[in-house]
Amino acid sequence: MLLQRILSTITKSERGTSSVEYGLILAFIVLIVLIAIQATATQTVQLWIDIASKFSAAQPKI
Instruction: Look at the chain and report how many structural domains it folds into.
Output: 1
Q: Is residue 10 part of a domain?
A: no
Provide the pLDDT for residue 7. 65
**Domain hosting residue 28, numbered range:** 15-57
Residue 21 banded pLDDT, cuts 50, 70, 90: confident
Q: How confident is the model at residue 34 (pLDDT cuts 50, 70, 90)?
A: very high
> Which pLDDT band, with edges at 50, 70 and 90, does 16 fall under?
low
Provide the greatest CA pair distance for the chain: 93
* 32 located within any domain: yes
pLDDT band at 14 (very low <50, low <70, confident <90, very high): low
Radius of gyration of the chain (CA): 27
34 occurs within a structural domain: yes
pLDDT higher at 30 or 12: 30
Q: What average pLDDT does the structure give for the chain?
A: 83
Residue 7 in domain? no
